[in-house]
């Protein structure tokens, strides 16, 4: 109920509620209901502006290499291999916020993911995902849906093609549990 009310308030210009956020990297204003407002630095350089994925389902996951949930990289890659050709984009965002489980350098993280899990989806540079120093994307998530903020590694955020948050999944939830929601967004038959 409160999510629907929040959406009505955000989408109604008569409420006087701010309807835009500013991407710290680009300075561009984007509707507050859109993940497309944000840009991550890439793990191997460059930038990953989420706006480039407009029109596609987007799965953003905070990750770590030395976590009990690290094998979920395999499930994320499986989703990307299955649905990527149909439009799904997966973006991994390494973070060392939880028990120091991502201590590596960019090269170490990239090599680990490629060698151990065959990761081919985009990986962002390591960033904080909690607290005052959190990347603006994760601050936005915490403001939009406080109960959806990451509480551990491998919290999953699924967005539709307009960058609206459709579903979240906690760390203990396997990536494959999002398969049905992704298939629905891509008008794929459920398996």
| DSSP character string of 66-78 | SSTTTTHHHHHHH
Q: Exposed (0-12), middle (13-18) or buried (19+): which is 150, by Cβ within 10 Å?
A: buried
- Decide: 164 and 62 in contact? Cβ < 8 Å: no
* d(C-alpha 120, C-alpha 34), whole Å: 25
67 is catalytic: yes
Say which of 67, 142, 181, 186 is annotated catalytic: 67
Helices 72-83 and 106-117: crossing angle in degrees, nearest 10, is 70
List active site positions: 67
């Amino acid at each position: 109920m409160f999510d629907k009310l929040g959406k009505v308030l955000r989408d109604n210009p008569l409420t006087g509620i701010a309807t835009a956020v500013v991407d710290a990297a680009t300075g561009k204003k984007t509707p507050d209901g859109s993940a497309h407002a944000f840009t991550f630095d890439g793990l191997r350089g460059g930038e990953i502006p989420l706006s480039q994925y407009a029109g596609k389902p987007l799965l953003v996951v905070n990750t770590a290499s030395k976590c009990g949930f690290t094998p979920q990289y395999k499930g994320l890659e499986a989703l990307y291999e299955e649905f990527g050709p149909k439009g799904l984009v997966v973006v991994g965002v390494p973070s060392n916020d939880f028990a120091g489980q991502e201590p590596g350098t960019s090269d170490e993280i990239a090599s680990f993911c490629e060698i151990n899990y065959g990761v081919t989806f985009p990986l962002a540079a390591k960033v904080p995902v909690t607290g005052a120093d959190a990347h603006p994307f994760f601050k936005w998530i915490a403001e939009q849906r406080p109960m959806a903020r990451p509480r551990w590694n491998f919290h999953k955020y699924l967005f539709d093609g307009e960058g609206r948050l459709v579903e979240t999944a906690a760390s203990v939830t396997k990536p494959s549990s999002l398969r049905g929601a992704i298939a629905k967004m891509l008008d794929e038959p459920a398996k």
